Chains A and B, each alone.
Chain A
């Protein structure tokens, strides 16, 4: 029987690799009786969505830009390389 620590590791790994049949069974069994780990599992799903939201909000935030000094520096740098 898995404990919560082992279960949390498997839940995390299930996002990164295919679990074996045995692992999937053990995980299901634990989640069936453990509300805490079930919640943990849902939290990881939420985090994944939240991170994507965060990244796209930075990408689309037009107020974040390089300073004109930085652009000038890059420009000068590239001039020197042509």
Chain B
């Protein structure tokens, strides 16, 4: 009987899958949707009954569902937003001669600070300030360590677009952390 197993799996792995998705998509509704789609794909799979490590198997499906969501949201970005011009909108960071408008400061990073609640709080807040698409690509690249070629293929964008989006995300995030964390 497939139904009880599926219910068991939902109870045993649903919250884990939800957290996995939430950490990458950052949107609770999107995260719930991909979890639902993952279970749907799972029960429709002919391999459903044979899984000895369901969590690993489900997480594998979930990763693809997450990329699907990211692909859709990146496509929704107007072509003009997809930064045809590498230099657009970076004026706040550099002067006309290409010098730092506000030079990066020295970060004093005591041992273990990255695990501290306070720092993680600032990081979360700063991630939330990034445009959603930039943040998602950023997570795909820097956390999943998805290969850049694969990102471009999956998201159907050019390599240059990906570099520019990642660059902007990193610039914005770095600045935000410098302002909000170091000032504390």
Assess whether B170 is in contact with A74, with CB atoms less than 8 Å apart.
no
Assess whether A54 is in contact with B22, with CB atoms less than 8 Å apart.
no
Chain B 122-138, CB within 8 Å of chain A: the 1/0 string? 01100100000000001
Q: From B113, which residue of chain A is reached at the shortest CB distance?
A: A50
Assess whether B6 is in contact with A78, with CB atoms less than 8 Å apart.
yes
Assess whether B22 is in contact with A47, with CB atoms less than 8 Å apart.
no
- Give the distance to chain B from A76, nearest Cβ to Cβ, in Å: 11
Total A residues in contact with B, Cβ cutoff 8 Å? 47
Pick from A12, A36, A48, A79: contact of B100, CB below 8 A: A36
The distance in angstroms between the C-alpha atoms of A53 and B99, with both chains bound, is: 32
Interface residue A20 (Cβ < 8 Å from any Cβ of B): no
Q: Which of under 10, 10 to 19, 20 to 34, or 35 or more describes the interface residues of B? A: 35 or more
Interface residue B49 (Cβ < 8 Å from any Cβ of A): no
Residues of chain B in range 87-107 having any CB-CB distance to chain A below 8 Å: 90, 93-94, 97-100, 103-107
Residues of chain B in range 27-60 having any CB-CB distance to chain A below 8 Å: 32, 35-36, 39-40, 43-44
Pick from A4, A48, A64, A81: contact of B40, CB below 8 A: A81
- Give the distance to chain B from A11, nearest Cβ to Cβ, in Å: 9
Interface residue B24 (Cβ < 8 Å from any Cβ of A): yes
- Give the distance to chain B from A16, nearest Cβ to Cβ, in Å: 5
Query: Which of A43, A44, A49, A59 has the most B CB atoms < 10 Å from its CB?
Result: A43
Number of A-B contacts (CB under 8 A): 144
Assess whether A16 is in contact with B114, with CB atoms less than 8 Å apart.
no
Q: Which residues of B contact A77 (CB under 8 A)?
A: 36, 40
Interface residue B166 (Cβ < 8 Å from any Cβ of A): yes
Assess whether B100 is in contact with A55, with CB atoms less than 8 Å apart.
no
Assess whether A5 is in contact with B90, with CB atoms less than 8 Å apart.
yes
Assess whether A74 is in contact with B159, with CB atoms less than 8 Å apart.
no
Assess whether B2 is in contact with A82, with CB atoms less than 8 Å apart.
yes
Pick from B114, B115, B167: contact of A12, CB below 8 A: B167
Pick from A6, A16, A43: contact of B163, CB below 8 A: A16
Pairs A-B, 7 closest by C-beta atoms? A3-B98, A58-B23, A5-B98, A65-B15, A12-B167, A36-B103, A5-B94
Apart from A54-B120, A60-B19: 14 A-B pairs, beta carbons within 8 A: A3-B94, A3-B99, A5-B90, A5-B93, A16-B166, A47-B173, A51-B139, A52-B143, A55-B23, A66-B18, A71-B14, A78-B6, A78-B39, A81-B44
